[in-house]
Protein backbone atom coordinates (compact mmCIF):
# COMPACT_ATOMS: atom_id res chain seq x y z
CA UNK A 1 0.00 0.00 0.00
CA UNK A 2 2.84 2.40 0.79
CA UNK A 3 4.42 1.68 -2.60
CA UNK A 4 1.13 2.47 -4.35
CA UNK A 5 0.66 5.70 -2.37
CA UNK A 6 4.20 6.88 -3.05
CA UNK A 7 3.83 6.03 -6.74
CA UNK A 8 0.61 8.05 -6.94
CA UNK A 9 2.34 10.96 -5.19
CA UNK A 10 5.28 10.89 -7.61
CA UNK A 11 2.97 10.75 -10.62
CA UNK A 12 1.17 13.82 -9.26
CA UNK A 13 4.45 15.69 -8.68
CA UNK A 14 5.35 15.34 -12.39
CA UNK A 15 1.77 16.17 -13.51
CA UNK A 16 1.70 12.84 -15.30
CA UNK A 17 -1.88 13.22 -16.52
CA UNK A 18 -0.93 16.47 -18.29
CA UNK A 19 2.10 15.09 -20.16
CA UNK A 20 1.98 14.77 -23.96
CA UNK A 21 0.52 11.46 -25.08
CA UNK A 22 1.10 9.22 -28.10
CA UNK A 23 0.56 5.56 -28.96
CA UNK A 24 3.02 3.37 -27.06
CA UNK A 25 3.69 -0.37 -27.09
CA UNK A 26 3.85 -0.70 -23.25
CA UNK A 27 5.25 -4.24 -23.41
CA UNK A 28 8.52 -3.76 -25.27
CA UNK A 29 11.16 -6.16 -23.98
CA UNK A 30 13.64 -8.58 -25.59
CA UNK A 31 10.98 -11.27 -25.99
CA UNK A 32 8.82 -9.00 -28.12
CA UNK A 33 11.42 -7.92 -30.67
CA UNK A 34 13.11 -9.80 -33.47
CA UNK A 35 16.50 -9.09 -34.97
CA UNK A 36 18.08 -10.17 -38.22
CA UNK A 37 21.78 -9.82 -37.59
CA UNK A 38 22.13 -6.54 -35.72
CA UNK A 39 19.06 -4.93 -37.26
CA UNK A 40 15.60 -4.77 -35.77
CA UNK A 41 13.29 -6.71 -38.08
CA UNK A 42 10.06 -6.96 -36.08
CA UNK A 43 8.12 -5.95 -33.00
CA UNK A 44 5.44 -8.25 -31.60
CA UNK A 45 2.69 -8.50 -28.98
CA UNK A 46 0.63 -5.34 -29.20
CA UNK A 47 -2.05 -6.32 -26.66
CA UNK A 48 -0.96 -3.62 -24.15
CA UNK A 49 -0.78 -0.76 -26.66
CA UNK A 50 -2.15 2.42 -25.14
CA UNK A 51 -2.25 6.17 -25.49
CA UNK A 52 0.35 7.34 -22.98
CA UNK A 53 3.53 9.34 -22.61
CA UNK A 54 6.54 8.04 -24.56
CA UNK A 55 8.57 7.94 -21.34
CA UNK A 56 6.09 5.39 -19.95
CA UNK A 57 7.10 3.11 -22.82
CA UNK A 58 10.76 3.62 -21.95
CA UNK A 59 10.04 2.98 -18.26
CA UNK A 60 8.23 -0.29 -18.94
CA UNK A 61 11.00 -1.43 -21.29
CA UNK A 62 13.55 -0.77 -18.55
CA UNK A 63 11.19 -2.31 -16.02
CA UNK A 64 11.00 -5.60 -17.88
CA UNK A 65 14.52 -5.80 -19.25
CA UNK A 66 16.85 -4.77 -16.44
CA UNK A 67 16.14 -6.94 -13.40
CA UNK A 68 17.63 -10.25 -12.32
CA UNK A 69 15.10 -13.08 -12.35
CA UNK A 70 17.34 -15.61 -10.63
CA UNK A 71 20.56 -15.82 -8.67
CA UNK A 72 21.87 -13.91 -5.69
CA UNK A 73 20.50 -10.60 -7.04
CA UNK A 74 17.04 -12.02 -7.76
CA UNK A 75 14.39 -9.27 -8.08
CA UNK A 76 17.01 -6.51 -8.02
CA UNK A 77 17.47 -4.10 -10.88
CA UNK A 78 20.83 -3.83 -12.57
CA UNK A 79 21.48 -0.10 -12.40
CA UNK A 80 24.23 -0.40 -15.04
CA UNK A 81 21.75 -1.90 -17.54
CA UNK A 82 19.27 0.88 -16.78
CA UNK A 83 21.99 3.51 -17.31
CA UNK A 84 23.03 1.91 -20.61
CA UNK A 85 19.39 1.65 -21.72
CA UNK A 86 18.75 5.32 -20.94
CA UNK A 87 21.94 6.34 -22.74
CA UNK A 88 21.01 4.36 -25.86
CA UNK A 89 17.44 5.69 -25.83
CA UNK A 90 18.56 9.30 -25.42
CA UNK A 91 21.11 8.97 -28.21
CA UNK A 92 18.49 7.49 -30.55
CA UNK A 93 15.66 9.85 -29.58
CA UNK A 94 17.62 13.08 -29.95
CA UNK A 95 16.51 16.37 -28.45
CA UNK A 96 14.44 15.82 -25.33
CA UNK A 97 11.25 17.72 -24.62
CA UNK A 98 11.92 17.98 -20.86
CA UNK A 99 15.07 18.97 -19.01
CA UNK A 100 17.11 16.02 -17.72
CA UNK A 101 15.90 16.35 -14.11
CA UNK A 102 12.22 16.42 -15.12
CA UNK A 103 12.72 13.55 -17.59
CA UNK A 104 14.34 11.43 -14.88
CA UNK A 105 11.49 12.23 -12.45
CA UNK A 106 8.93 11.16 -15.06
CA UNK A 107 10.80 7.94 -15.85
CA UNK A 108 11.13 7.05 -12.14
CA UNK A 109 7.43 7.67 -11.49
CA UNK A 110 6.43 5.80 -14.65
CA UNK A 111 8.70 2.87 -13.75
CA UNK A 112 7.06 2.61 -10.33
CA UNK A 113 3.62 2.84 -11.93
CA UNK A 114 4.47 0.23 -14.52
CA UNK A 115 5.81 -2.26 -11.97
CA UNK A 116 2.66 -1.84 -9.86
CA UNK A 117 0.57 -2.36 -13.02
CA UNK A 118 2.59 -5.49 -13.80
CA UNK A 119 1.89 -6.90 -10.30
CA UNK A 120 -1.85 -6.33 -10.76
CA UNK A 121 -1.72 -7.91 -14.23
CA UNK A 122 0.07 -10.98 -12.86
CA UNK A 123 -2.51 -11.35 -10.08
CA UNK A 124 -5.33 -11.12 -12.63
CA UNK A 125 -3.54 -13.63 -14.87
CA UNK A 126 -3.16 -16.04 -11.95
CA UNK A 127 -6.85 -15.76 -11.06
CA UNK A 128 -7.71 -16.70 -14.65
CA UNK A 129 -5.11 -19.51 -14.69
CA UNK A 130 -5.29 -21.03 -11.20
CA UNK A 131 -3.86 -24.39 -12.27
CA UNK A 132 -0.62 -22.85 -13.49
CA UNK A 133 1.87 -23.53 -10.68
CA UNK A 134 4.05 -20.56 -11.71
CA UNK A 135 1.41 -18.02 -10.65
CA UNK A 136 2.50 -17.77 -7.03
CA UNK A 137 6.15 -17.60 -8.10
CA UNK A 138 5.41 -14.69 -10.47
CA UNK A 139 3.38 -12.85 -7.83
CA UNK A 140 6.11 -13.28 -5.21
CA UNK A 141 8.77 -12.15 -7.67
CA UNK A 142 6.79 -8.99 -8.53
CA UNK A 143 6.28 -8.22 -4.84
CA UNK A 144 10.01 -8.69 -4.26
CA UNK A 145 10.82 -6.29 -7.11
CA UNK A 146 8.63 -3.66 -5.47
CA UNK A 147 9.98 -4.37 -2.00
CA UNK A 148 13.73 -4.73 -2.56
CA UNK A 149 14.50 -1.97 -5.06
CA UNK A 150 15.05 1.67 -4.24
CA UNK A 151 13.36 3.11 -7.32
CA UNK A 152 14.52 6.63 -6.48
CA UNK A 153 18.18 5.63 -6.78
CA UNK A 154 17.91 3.61 -10.00
CA UNK A 155 17.93 6.65 -12.27
CA UNK A 156 20.18 9.67 -11.72
For 80-120, the pLDDT digits (tens) are 999 999 999 999 888 888 999 999 999 999 999 999 999 99
pLDDT digits (tens, 9 = 90+) for 25-76: 988 888 899 999 988 899 989 988 999 999 999 999 999 999 999 999 999 9
CA 57, CA 38: separation in Å to the nearest integer?
22
pTM for the full predicted model = 0.89
Contact 27, 117 (CB under 8 A): no
How far is C-alpha 149 from the chain's CA centre? 13
- Burial bucket for residue 112 (CB in 10 Å: 0-12, 13-18, 19+): buried
pLDDT digits (tens, 9 = 90+) for 13-28: 999 999 999 999 988 8
Return the bridge partners of 39, or none: 36
HSE of 13, CA atoms in CB hemisphere, 13 A = 16
Amino acid sequence: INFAKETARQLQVVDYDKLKKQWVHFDLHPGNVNYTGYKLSGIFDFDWVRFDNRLADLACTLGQSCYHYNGKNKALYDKNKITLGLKAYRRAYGKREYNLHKENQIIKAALRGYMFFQLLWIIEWHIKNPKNKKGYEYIQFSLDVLKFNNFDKLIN
